[in-house]
Amino acid sequence: MRKVLPFAVFVLFLGLWTWKLLEPNPLPERVAEGIPTDWKFWLAKALHTGAYAYLTLLARWLPVRRAGFWGAVVLLVLHAVGTEIGQTFVPNRHGCIMDVLIDWTGIGLGLGVLRWWEVRRWPSSAPPTPRT
């Protein structure tokens, strides 16, 4: 169970994010009406960044070796591209290179947080041992 739970959580959140990215109307109309028009763009882009940063952090929780973690990161990089391509086939949506770059920024932010955490956690005199 300890090994299955991280994968289940990662796949669940990736699946939910994919669904919302490829849905014609990802935000219920009632909710969309309550958001000021000036804020919609910035909130959407912040959500893109935050979602991919969060998924990157979840990938670190997976019980895999270092190569497996980097494989998950590559999956997220390709997912960002794939969902934007997929949006070109969804009514009311469009694919955007800027969104891919924003998604990649989120992945980079997640990697930066992980690096900061490792540096903070391990003193420079005692480097962390590689995962086995």
Q: What is the pLDDT of residue 83?
A: 97
Tell me, what DSSP letter sits at residue 1? -
Task: Count CA atoms within 13 Å of residue 71 on its CB side.
Answer: 7
| Pairwise CA distance, residues 83 & 10, whole Å | 17
Q: What is the pLDDT of residue 132?
A: 57
- Confirm if 76 and 59 have CB atoms less than 8 A apart: yes
Question: pLDDT digit string (tens) for 82-91?
Answer: 999 999 999 9
pLDDT at 127: 59
**Gap between the Cα atoms of 99 and 3, Å rounded:** 33
Residue position matching structure tokens 């955007």: 96
Residues of the chain with pLDDT under 50: none
Instruction: Give 80's Cβ-side CA count (13 Å radius).
Output: 27
Predicted local confidence at residue 29, as pLDDT:
81
**DSSP 3-state assignment of 13?**
helix
Q: What is the per-residue pLDDT across 105-131, written as a single tens digit (0 to 9) for each?
A: 999 999 999 999 988 876 665 556 666
